[in-house]
Amino acid sequence: MTAEMAVELDGLITFFASHHAIRGEKVLGEAGLDIELVPGPKELSPSCGVALRIHFAERENARVHLDEKKVQVDEIIRYRPRTDDWEDPQARRGWRHLFTRRGNQ
């Protein structure tokens, strides 16, 4: 996949379980759709660790193929991941905050 294609893949299909995502990748790949299997954003799909990026304009076509093969989909949304240098301050703290006293931070 080229960098150009990754920019164009502005849709995200989330699933209830990883095996549905893997089946979805196979089904949509065989149907000729541009797809990319990616880590699922936890804020959007906490139940599954993987998702599929697609062209959002092809969402109805993707839904038809997935429904025909009985692949269970959570949702299909427009999604563009952040490209800036933003970091979650909570994630940066890591595990150390669990072992420090409030007065010693």
pLDDT value at 30 more than 90: yes
Reported as a single tens digit per residue, the pLDDT across 14-26 is: 998 999 999 999 9
| Amino acid in position 47 | S
Q: 41 or 87: whose pLDDT is higher?
A: 41
Q: For 63-104, what is each residue's pLDDT tens digit? A: 999 999 999 999 999 987 766 666 655 555 554 444 445 554
Q: How far apart are CA 68 and CA 92, in angstroms?
A: 43
In this structure, the number of other CB atoms found within 10 A of the CB of residue 50 comes to 19
Taking CA 37 as the corner, what is the angle to CA 26 and CA 93, rounded to the nearest 5 degrees? 155
The CATH class for the domain spanning 3-81 reads alpha beta
Cα–Cα distance measured from residue 67 to residue 51, given in angstroms and rounded to the nearest whole number:
16
Question: What is the residue extent of each domain of the chain?
Answer: 3-81
Assess contact for 51 and 18: CB atoms under 8 A.
no
